[in-house]
Structure 1
Amino acid sequence: MNSLHRSKTMENERVRIRNVEVLSDDWYLLKKTTFDYRRADGVWQTLNRETYDRGNGATILLYNLERRSVILIRQFRFPTYRDGHDGFLVETPAGLLDNASPEQRIRAEAEEETGYRVGDVRKVFEVFMSPGSVTEKLHFFVGEYTADARAGEGGGNVAEGEDIEVMEVPIQQALMMIAEGEIADGKTIMLLQYAQLHLFGVGANRGLVTDI
């Protein structure tokens, strides 16, 4: 047995599932799990955790090097509609996989939400976005866009309650929006910082947000 396999086996022996209770199976799946966990000192401890399973997803930053711009969207997110926030977040296009591959899904989501038909996409990393309670793993992509690649208006799926505004934003302005709190969505901040480091460099030109 190699060291990697032995390490994984030891980790698996640290958790013993005792009971799983479904609390809700409506919008997504909420479970309460009781399990025994062997601590680093060898002592077993019984714990309860609630986990929210909404499936895995994908997100993409569409960028244009010549225009030094990115495509973002603005939409209403009800869970953020509290504590003085208006609920409207500026984000990168994203969606759940729904049994498709991450590449297939993100191409479809990008066109549905922004109207841009994406050719080549490149996966840059994958992340557990809220591992304390949500099982979702998000696949992050980047892809170039051009003006002639826009096949429609975008706006999302009306039947799913989506009402999406599409924006073309200069990269430097997008970074300023993070600093000023106008962009507060985690996946979007991560992709914009990736773009700053790996796509545009730190000397991006300043500019203004343009609704399209």
Structure 2
Amino acid sequence: MPLPDTTPTRVELLARERVANGYCKVDKLTLRHEQYAGGMGPEIVREVVERGNAAAVLLYDPVRECCVMIEQFRPGAWLADQAPWMLEIVAGIIEPGETAEAVCRREAEEEAGVRIGELQKIMSYMVTPGVCTETIDLFVGRVDASEAHGLHGVAAEGEDIRVFTMTVDELQWALETGKVNNVTTIIAIQWLLLNRDRLHQQWGC
């Protein structure tokens, strides 16, 4: 059978119920959607986490050719029997009235103790669209990594964040050996490996 020429567009929401309203909000959806073969498919029930939008930024020092990285505890990784203290880049939820760029600058100071100069968007993507609404706006930001070290985070939010630097070669090694296992950090490192020369030209380095 040949592939269809068009993508389905119709979705019918039959019921929506909030089943969890804590740190994560979870909605139970009853719906039907149009199928590639034509017509509406059967009624399905899915739970979806209402996470909102977030911004993440790879903090890069082009003079030292290193990135400011962070490490913190992640309960999801712990439950999945993964190493729960994860190597990551700075990120935060976009609050109402905030821009993604403002979140990057705020979180860079809160989580890593550095200020961002030039800030360039890399891409937007969904993390786990099968079960979550979260969209990430991913950026690269120019920083001076000379003072990047120590422990940071907002104590009232239970944050306990270790800050350190890694060279581009060290990041590539971490990627190739599986030391990085969260999607946002993987995408950011891969982007830098592919675009470092062009980024240096744009930033006049």
Cα deviation, residue 151, structure 1: 9.2
Question: Where in structure 1 are there 5+ consecutive unaligned residues?
Answer: 1-6, 202-212
Contact 1:112 1:154 in 2 (8 A): no
Letter in 2 for 1:33: L
- Cα distance in 2 for residues equivalent to 1:54 and 1:184: 20
Cα deviation, residue 84, structure 1: 4.1
Aligned pairs for 1:100-111 (under 5 A) are: 100-111=98-109
- Cα distance in 2 for residues equivalent to 1:69 and 1:151: 11
Partner of 2:162: 165
- Cα distance in 1 for residues equivalent to 2:138 and 2:179: 21
Contact 1:93 1:109 in 2 (8 A): yes
What is the RMSD of the two structures over their aligned residues, measured on CA atoms? 2.1
Partner of 1:76: 73
TM-score, length of structure 2 as denominator length: 0.86
- Cα distance in 2 for residues equivalent to 1:182 and 1:151: 21
Aligned pairs for 1:116-195 (under 5 A) are: 116-147=114-145, 155-195=152-192
1:24 corresponds to 2:20? yes
**For residues 152 and 67 of structure 1, do their structure 2 counterparts lie closer, same or farther at Cα, with a shift above 3 Å needed?**
closer
TM-score, length of structure 1 as denominator length: 0.84
Letter in 2 for 1:161: G
* SS at structure 2 position matched to 1:81: helix
% identical equivalent positions:
29
**For residues 154 and 115 of structure 1, do their structure 2 counterparts lie closer, same or farther at Cα, with a shift above 3 Å needed?**
farther
Partner of 2:195: 198
Equivalent in 56, 62, 69 of residue 53 of structure 2:
56
In the TM superposition, what whole-angstrom CA distance separates every residue of 1:80-134 from its partner, at most 9, and x where no partner exists?
1145433110000001001211011111001100000112211110000111101
* Aligned pairs, number: 191
* SS at structure 2 position matched to 1:50: strand
Tell me which stretches of 4 or more aligned residues in structure 1 moved more than 6 Å: none
Contact 1:116 1:152 in 2 (8 A): no
Letter in 2 for 1:134: C
